[in-house]
Structure 1
Amino acid sequence: MASPAFDDYLKTVYAHTEWQDAPITPSQLAAALGVAPSSVTEMVKKLAAAGLVSHVPYGAVRLTDAGRARALQMLRRHRLIETWLVREFGYAWHEVHDEAEVLEHTISDRLLEGIDERLGRPRFDPHGDAIPDAQGEVDREPFVLLADAPAGHIGRVLRVSDRDPELLQQLEDAGVTVGAQITAPGELPDGAAQAIWLSA
């Protein structure tokens, strides 16, 4: 039942609730994946039949335990590859997402384990997203979205969304990287407040 399309859907459903609590709707899923709503309807039916998601018509899409385990496996691959590309090949953090999307479906488990070991078993990828361990465990500290942080809140940048490569580049130019300390709201490029998570 190996299917890159299945895996991309599962990753997207998981990632939607990774940094906030509201479950993803089919229309949000379609927008995130850049596909037609009718395609989402068909794929969600297949995922539900495979026991990977639960869904009622017009309702949110949620992962089952099996779906969550598979999503975490794929996120582990994706995020380790992103980290590998940055550390070993000199990629910038705004360049790695698309490359990892391709490689995550092709490398063997043996190579993935070798990459993890070579990198010293990193806990976070270049954007601050947690890398699940081989057992699917995720380690993350309390956080707040910059847009929701009270004025004057001082926090370390825990995560920057990788959705917009241009914004990533602007933030890097402004010295805003994972681990940097900033004070809310900060003078940052447009869109940054919805793309940066700080330590709570």
Structure 2
Amino acid sequence: MLDILREYWVPLIKQPKSTIRRAMDETSTNCLFVLISLFGITLCLEQAMNRDAGNTTSTPAIIILSIVIGPIMGVIAWFLGSLCTYGMARLFGGVASFRETREASAWATVAYTTKLALFIPMLLIFREENFTSITPDIDSSMFLALLFFLCLTASFVMSIYYFVVYPKIIGEIHEIGSWKGFASIVLIPVVLISLLILVALALN
């Protein structure tokens, strides 16, 4: 399993369209579990950083909670995302099955999960200030402030690139092209968010 992950991780980021079918041919249940768990852990850590969770929770607790809850979050996000993407892709004339869409969606997460390679040194360098709104050590050092900014920029770029890789993979397996693949991924979430905003405005 680890050999398969090592073999396809970087090629999927560099050349997703030409790599995804070979990766899917060698996908096992264990492989899916690892991909989805790492995706969920990355989601949890990023949410903790964005929400300044360290203001109320210790860094060790954040890390432990991410490791425990992350895989569950990953499964939920992966399954619902795959379901929405599959439905829209079929409307656009896609040919892949739901199982193939789930596998492809799991492999697409490598572009996002690569952030873990960035988070680990960030945890070692910036420690609890990754998760707090008050950052005295970072604020008192121009070098640390610049390094922290570069890390956040790299993390943002990785998030954007995930939405470059994912549509290419969906477009390839469904044979609908990258643009329709992108629409398949974002349309339902955009519609749901818009409806929630409208409901919230109406209630207010």
- TM-score normalised to structure 2 length: 0.31
Q: Please state which structure has a larger fraction of its residues in helix.
A: 2
The answer to which structure, 1 or 2, has the higher relative contact order (CA under 8 A, 6+ apart) is 2
| TM-score, length of structure 1 as denominator length | 0.31
